[in-house]
Structure 1
Amino acid sequence: MKGEWADPFLLKDGDDYYLYPTKDSKGWLYEKFHVFHSKDLINWDGPYLALDLNDVEWASSRAWAPGINKFNGKYYMYFSAEAQIGAAVADSPLGPFRDILGRPLITKDQYQCQSIDADLFIEDDNQPYLLWGQGKCWIVPLEDDMVTFKTEPVLLSDQLYRNKGADPIMTDNGIYNEGPHLQKIDGEYVLTWSNYDTRDPRYQICFARSGHIFGPYESPEDNRVTTPSEKFFGTGHASMARYEDGWVLCYHRLIDPETTVLRETCISKMEFIDGKLIVNVDACLE
C-alpha cells in the first residue's frame, strides 16, 4: 500500500478485507482515522473516513493504532487518542464510527503503562476480550455493552515465557513493548507484539502461543517473527488475518530509517516452521 501509513489493523469480514491504519505525520499529531477496503489484499479502494477526533469530546489529536472487530452485527473500534483509549461503534466496517462513552474507556497511565494500542479479540463462544498497553500488556473480558469490564484486567505480559518453566520474557531482550494482537490458529492462542521502539531499526515482531487465553504463553528461544532484511527495517506493530488457505501478517516498516521516522504498511504471508512463526519481509503481497 502506497503512502505513509502505520500501526495497521487488518479485519477480514466475510470475503472482504478492511485495513485501519494510523495516518503517519510529522509529530504523529494527525486527528483522523481512515479505512481501506479490498477483496484480495492487493487492490485497495479508499481511504474512507472512519472516525474524526473533531467529533470526539475528550481528544483532538494523536489518532493512533485502532483495533476493530465485529460483535453481534456491529463493528467496534478501540482507538488511541492523546495516550488514552476510547471506544466507538458503527453499523458498517467503513464507518462512520461514533464515540460510545463521550470519555475515555481507559485513561492516561491508568494501568501503569501508556494507554495505547488496543486489540479486540472475539472468542469462539462470542466472548469479547480487549487487549492494550505499551510497556505492559493487559487483557480483560468485556460485557456485551463492549465498554464494561467483566472482571479485573489480567497482566498478560507477565505470562510470556521462553519455553516452559523459563523466566518471563519481560526480563530479557525479548521484552514486550507494544502493539499486542491475538488470534486463534489451529486451536491455539497466538499472540504477537513488538519490542524495541518504533523509531529503532531493530523494532521487530515477536510471538508466543498458549492453550489458554490468559496464558502462560510460550515461545521459542528466538521468537522474532519478521526475517532480517538488507532492505527493510523497523518492521513492527502487526495484525493477522486469514488469507486463502493460510494467514497473513500486516505490519509497518520505516520508509527510510536514515532520514525519517515515517512508516509504510505492507502485508506478507505467514508460515509456521518447526514451531516458529516466520514472515519474509522481502516478499510482500503486491
Structure 2
Amino acid sequence: MSTSHNSMFVGLAIVALGLGSGACQTKTTTTTKPEPLVTDLYTADPSAHVFNGKIYIYPSHDIEANVPEDDEGGHFNMKDYHVYSMDKIDGKVTDHGVALDIKDVPWAGRQMWAPDAAYKNDTYYLYFPVKDKQDVFRMGVATSQSPTGPFKAEPAPIPGSFSIDPAVFTDTDGTTYMYFGGIWGGQLQRWYTGQYDATLKTDLGKDNEPALSPKVARMSNDMLTFAEPVKDVQIIDKQGKPLLAGDHDRRFFEGAWMHKYNGKYYFSYSTGDTHFLAYATSDSPYGPFTYQGTFMEPVTGWTTHHSIVEFEGKWYLFYHDVELSGKTHLRNIKVRELLRKPDGSLELIKP
C-alpha cells in the first residue's frame, strides 16, 4: 500500500489532486467515471478474487486516526479489515462486517495495511502486513471457513516475512506464491543487507544502481509459512538490463499483483512516488520480468494500489482514489474494465 512518501513530493501531490479532481468530472469518449463501490466507510488497496462465482474484495479500511502525517505513513493507522462481495460488476456491494481486528492479532502493534486473500485446502486465508510490537512490518495470516470471515489469526507472523503488500497467486499447477514489498514506510529498504536496519529510512537513493527488488516466496502446502528462502523479483528492460533506482516512472515501489494470461505471467505494481501502475511479463512466476509499460495513469490523491481479476470472461481492474474525501489517507475503492490489445498487452487507462 502506498503509504509513505518523501516530503519533496507533497507539493506535486497537492497540485495533482487539484487538477485531477476537476478532470474526473468529465466523461471520456470510451467510458464514464466509475463510482466509488463503498461510500459509508473509507476503503483502499482492493484485493479482488472470485470465489464460488462471486467477487470478494479485501481492502484496507482507512480511518481518521488523528496521527500527524509523516514520510513513513504514520497517519495510515488502520485497525481492522472488512470484506465486501458482489454478484456482478454493476451490482450491489455487500459489506460483511469486520473480518479481522488488530486486537485479535496477538503479536500486532499498529498499522494494518493492504491485505490479500486466497483459497486452498478447503480454507480461506487472509494475509496482512502489520507492524509487530518492535514496529517492524511482518506478514500475518488468518484463516476462516468462509470467504467473508471472521478470520482467526495465527499466533505469530510468517517466519522470515517482512515489509508490506502481500499478493498471493496460485498458478495453474496448484503452486502458490506470495509476492510482496514496499519501500520507504514499507521498510523494504531496511532489509537491503538481509538484516533489518532501522537507520535506512528511505530508498537508498543510488540512482544509477539497480532498483530495490520486490520479493517472492513459494508458500508451503498448509499456506501458513514460506516453503523456501525469499527471492528477488528482477524487473528488466527490453535490453535485459535491470531497471535503475532513479527510474521513477518504471521502477517497482510497492503494490505488487500477479495474474496469468495465455501462459504469460503479468507482474503489475505501483511506481509509488510517480503513481503509475506498470507491468512486466515473464514465462516464469519467478521472473525475470520484462517491463512492458504503464497501464494506468495517476489517480486523484497520493497512492496507487490495485488488483486484477477475471470475471465472466472479462478482466477488471480494482483500484482506489480520493473522490469522496479529497484526502490522501481517506480513500475509496473503484472498479473498471481492463482491456487488452490482440498481442496481450494492456490498454492504457486514463482515470
TM-score range relative to shorter protein: 0.7 to 0.9
What corresponds to 1:172 in structure 2? Answer: 247
Q: Is the 8 A contact 2:298 2:304 kept in 1?
A: no
Q: In structure 2, what residue type is equivalent to 1:41? A: I
Task: Return the offset for 1:95.
Answer: 0.5
Q: Is the 8 A contact 2:272 2:304 kept in 1?
A: no
Q: Could you report, residue by residue, the CA deviation over 1:39-78 in whole angstroms, capped at 9, with x for unpaired residues?
A: 0123211142111111111114311111101112111111
The match for 2:87 among 39, 48, 62 is: 39
Aligned: 1:5 with 2:36: no
Hey, what's the Cα distance between the residues in 2 that align with 1:95 and 1:258?
31
Hey, what's the Cα distance between the residues in 2 that align with 1:33 and 1:126?
27
Q: Which stretches of structure 1, 4 residues or longer, exceed 4 Å deviation after superposition?
A: 256-260
Aligned: 1:91 with 2:145: yes
Hey, what's the Cα distance between the residues in 1 that align with 2:128 and 2:263?
28
Task: Return the offset for 1:271.
Answer: 1.4
The match for 1:265 among 325, 333, 344 is: 333
What corresponds to 2:295 in structure 1? Answer: 225
Q: In structure 2, what residue type is equivalent to 1:88? A: A
Aligned: 1:21 with 2:59: yes
Task: Return the offset for 1:276.
Answer: 3.2
The match for 2:158 among 105, 126, 134 is: 105
Q: Is the 8 A contact 1:32 1:51 kept in 2?
A: yes
What corresponds to 2:319 in structure 1? Answer: 251
What corresponds to 1:148 in structure 2? Answer: 225
Unaligned 5+ segments in structure 2 are 1-36, 65-74, 132-136, 184-212
What corresponds to 2:264 in structure 1? Answer: 188
Aligned: 1:242 with 2:310: yes
Q: Is the 8 A contact 1:209 1:219 kept in 2?
A: yes
Q: Could you report, residue by residue, the CA deviation over 1:164-183 in whole angstroms, capped at 9, with x for unpaired residues?
A: 42333555221211111111
Q: Is the 8 A contact 1:226 1:235 kept in 2?
A: no
> Could you say which structure has the larger radius of gyration?
2
Q: Is the 8 A contact 2:294 2:348 kept in 1?
A: no
Q: Is the 8 A contact 1:249 1:279 kept in 2?
A: no
Aligned: 1:276 with 2:345: yes
The 3 A distance-change label for structure 1 pair 41 and 149 is same
The 3 A distance-change label for structure 1 pair 16 and 259 is closer
Q: In structure 1, what residue type is equivalent to 2:304? A: G
Tell me, what secondary structure is at the counterpart of 1:62? strand
Give the TM-score, by structure 2 length.
0.70
What corresponds to 1:57 in structure 2? Answer: 106
What corresponds to 2:120 in structure 1? Answer: 71
The 3 A distance-change label for structure 1 pair 256 and 50 is closer
For the aligned residue pairs, the C-alpha RMSD in angstroms reads 2.2
Q: Is the 8 A contact 2:302 2:328 kept in 1?
A: no
Tell me, what secondary structure is at the counterpart of 1:54? helix
What corresponds to 1:126 in structure 2? Answer: 174
The 3 A distance-change label for structure 1 pair 257 and 132 is same
Hey, what's the Cα distance between the residues in 1 that align with 2:152 and 2:258?
24
The 3 A distance-change label for structure 1 pair 79 and 258 is closer
Task: Return the offset for 1:266.
Answer: 0.7
Q: Could you report, residue by residue, the CA deviation over 1:93-121 in whole angstroms, capped at 9, with x for unpaired residues?
A: 01011112x122157xx66xxx1111111
Give the TM-score, by structure 1 length.
0.85
Aligned: 1:216 with 2:269: no
Tell me, what secondary structure is at the counterpart of 1:145? coil
Hey, what's the Cα distance between the residues in 2 that align with 1:185 and 1:14?
21
Q: Of Structure 1 and Structure 2, which has the larger fraction of its residues in strand?
A: 1
Q: Could you report, residue by residue, the CA deviation over 1:229-272 in whole angstroms, capped at 9, with x for unpaired residues?
A: 7xx45462111111232211111123379754422111111112
Task: Return the offset for 1:161.
Answer: 1.4
Unaligned 5+ segments in structure 1 are none
Point out which structure has higher relative CO (alpha carbons under 8 A, 6+ apart): 2
